[in-house]
Amino acid sequence: ILSGKSICAQTNIQGSITEAHTEKPLAFVAISLVKDGDGILHTISDSSGHFKFDGLAPGTYSLHFQHIGFLPEVIEVTLISGKDEIMAIKMKESIATLSEVVVKPNQNPNQPDNQMVLISGRGFNPDDTRRFAGSLNDPSRMATSLAGVSSANDFRNDIIIRGNSPSGLLWRIEGLDIPNPNHFASMGNTGGPVSLLNINVLSKSDFIIGAFPSEYGNALSGVFDLSLRDGNNEDREHTFQVGFNGLELGMEGPIGKNGGSYLANYRYSTVELLGMLGIDFGTDGAIPKYQDISFNVNLPTKKAGTFKLFGIGGTSQINFKADPPDSLSPIGSDISSGSNIAVLGFNHKILLQNDWASSISLGVAYSDQFSRIDSVNWSFNSQAPIFREKLSEVRTSLHWTLNKKINHRNYFRTGLVASNIHFNLSDSIRYQNSLMDRINSRGNTHQVQLHTQWKHYFTENLVASFGLHSLFFALNKQVNIEPRANISWEFYSGHFLKFGYGRHSQRQPLNLHFYQDPAGLFPNELTNRNLGFSKSDHYIVAYEFQMDKPWRFVLEAYYQNLFSIPVSRTSSYSAINAGAEFGISAEESLINKGQGRNVGIDLSVERSFKDGYYFLSTTSVFDSKYQDFADSWHNTAFNTNFQSNLLLGKQFKLKGRDLIAIDVQHTWAGGRRYTPIDLELSQATGEAVFENHTPFSKQFRSYYRLDLKVTYRSNGKKAMQEWAVDLRNITNRKNAFTQQFDSIENRITTIYQIGFFPTIFYRLYF
């Protein structure tokens, strides 16, 4: 296994270079490898855009890319023992004439890969997820450190964007829209306690938080567009890792003679493994069990394009057994819940004649969630069903995109997303001494999205993208047409003014469409079946100053108008507040008459990782409100009003090629919103009675958390080893989560979020 690497602790850099819009390979690109300010090696890319530097010692290097007619690129890369660096470089064509050209490298290493994104977008780098304190190697938790983004609570990784519900986020991987990629997931939600995504198989991806381009649809708040990295197509490599997310094994290597590769990673719950060894966690046997797998097979050809076969999948379950009887309560509950997901995809990319490029993705995605609650009466040694749920969905999808380079100023993109959805939904609850159905439906429906976009460079410094998106959903037979626009103007060197607008819509979760209330006015009717889309308009204006690399300053102001939101005719319920808990709350006879508004300012000051350290400071101030059916305005569940993050990290070189890294994250945010409990009515009824006429009118004190991460990395002759201690909430701050009514003590109590939470991490590359 170790024979593939030199005993002199050498490693390689290789990759491919393409034109950013069409992904056409670029030959004869001049590449310089720079170490400590000096160019030590030089090469050019071959006819397929491939390049390679071999026999390199571990450490940090700069790669400089130059090509006639293209903007130069400068990229930092850190090499480690036991692993080659596989890169995919995209260069943008220069619009200026030769007489106007000023050689100025790209100043923003975090710009999105999608060239249609001109505002409110950022390139997601897996290295940042590994690096940031408190992220726990979770892309979602890393994203909550960015401006305009917050989390629902410490127990989950939901992504709240600018006051929107987490349900408004679109997840996409290799061109395919996918279900919730988390363990213990639920239909209609986009987050969970443990991420199923594995950063060891992810490449640079895009994260967009507003006015996103027309190729993205069925989403209200943002997009996480993920790419899988290709495996090493020359040497076999292996990964062993253990930490909070599980025990992991990975492998990659070459396939065939045309530069093909494979990549696969498998992960198993660390907590479950420790439980098998007899370690008691004090949870009465309630141990989260989960496992997942990710893979990517890349098969390039000489004339037929590039083929990919990829997939992710996972299963999760947890069981809570009723506590033994005591003098106060002879009744307990047995609870079991979990979820499963499997995504299998196939992608084909090919360059066509006359600067056309085609990308086709075919995929099948299965997802389900299940829950079971039984009441246990120890006095009579009996058990009665209280709740049953099994929601499953199989989605078969076709994504087809065509790109056209018209000339060096104009680019065109069009495509479609067609999905067939087979669903089987069952949900029942105990009512009048028997289980009554709230959901009991199965069938098929389909969804079709069309999009077209045009990007035009008016000058070297003024560029705009315009597009249209259409969404059709067969279940309610509705169609929505959505215009989109992004404009970027560099009015002075490094200074940008940007504008964004987008009309966006999203269908409702299927379990909301098929909900019926056995205790309601229409117990046997599907009163929500024909609910329409939730809709919103995004308006964004931004100022960006790209200082001398790697510093960047971004200020964005936004206004979002939400409308056609499902609301109750008889209460303050609005679907705008759903998505941050396990499951989607629902009521009968909903109507698309609700409204909402999100307004705020996001500020970021960032120094990308360079010369061994980085800095990120973000501040968001916002207000999020919704209007119910009675035209009363309320705070949304996500209106915490502000959030600020400060992240710092520094690497210190030790003897030889070893290093130690210290990373700190400080988070300060408004407290969670909650609906107050009516104490007198609760005492009279013996259970919590909420003041639902004033939803989310109260707010807990501010949220505060300080995280510290210490990492030691050792680059050996044939392998890299890394040890890390990630200490979340090192001050053990008691951040409030919710309130509940204690029927035994007859008072209101506060439930708190996670206190001091240390995790240990180990990784081995060889």
Q: What is the pTM of this model?
A: 0.93
pLDDT at 181: 98
Quick one: average pLDDT of 720-734? Answer: 96
Mean pLDDT score, 421-450: 94
* Rounded mean pLDDT, 435-460: 96
Residue 2 has pLDDT above 60, yes or no: no
Instruction: Reply yes or no on whether the pLDDT at 289 is more than 90.
Output: yes
CATH 2.60.40.10 holds for 1-106: yes
- Domain coordinates in residue numbering, the chain: 1-106, 225-323+340-765
Cβ 734 vs Cβ 703: under 8 Å: no
* Residue 322, pLDDT above cutoff 80: no
**DSSP structure string for 645-707:** EEEEEEEEE-STT-EEEEEEEEEEEPPPEEPPB-HHHHHHHTS--B-TTSTT-EEPSPEEEEE
Over residues 163-181, mean pLDDT = 97
The string of DSSP letters for 105-132 reads: --S-TT--S-TT--SSEEEE-HHHHHHS
Helix, strand or coil for residue 163? coil
Strand partners, 33: 41, 63
pLDDT score at 5: 41
Burial class of residue 98, CB neighbours in 10 A (0-12, 13-18, 19+): exposed
User: Does residue 286 surpass a pLDDT of 80?
Assistant: yes
State mean pLDDT over 429-434: 87
Letter string b/e over residues 681-705, b meaning 16 or more CB atoms within 10 A of that residue's CB: ebeeeeebbbeeeebbebbbebbeb
Name the nearest CA neighbour of 638 among 650, 624, 628, 651. 624
Looking at 38-42, 136-140, 652-656, 743-747, which range is the least confident one? 38-42
Q: 């992504």: which residue's tokens? A: 159
CA distance 628 to 19: 49
Of 707 and 245, more confident: 707
Could you give the percent of the chain with pLDDT greater than 70?
95
pLDDT of 542 above 50 = yes
pLDDT, tens digit (0-9, with 9 covering 90-100), for 233-265: 999 999 999 998 899 999 999 998 889 999 999
CA angle, residues 521, 527, 531, in degrees to nearest 5? 145
The mean pLDDT of 226-237, rounded to a whole number, is 95
592: pLDDT strictly greater than 50? yes
Whole-number Å distance between alpha carbons of 345 and 10: 35
Q: What is the CATH number of domain 225-323+340-765?
A: 2.40.170.20
**H or E stretch at 564:** strand 551-567
Run of H or E including 512: helix 510-513
Range scoring the smallest mean pLDDT among 5-9, 11-15, 489-493:
5-9
What whole-number distance in Å separates Cα of residue 65 and Cα of residue 30?
6
Residue 6, pLDDT score = 38
Taking all residues of the chain, what is their mean pLDDT, rounded to a whole number? 92
pLDDT at residue 1 is higher than 50: no
Alpha-carbon distance 602 to 604, whole Å?
7
Residue type, 514: F
> Residue 101: its pLDDT value, please?
47
| Residue 146, pLDDT score | 97
CA–CA separation, 54 vs 13, rounded Å? 6
- pLDDT at position 9: 65
Q: How confident is the model at residue 99 (pLDDT cuts 50, 70, 90)?
A: very low
Q: How far apart are CA 535 and CA 681, in angstroms?
A: 38
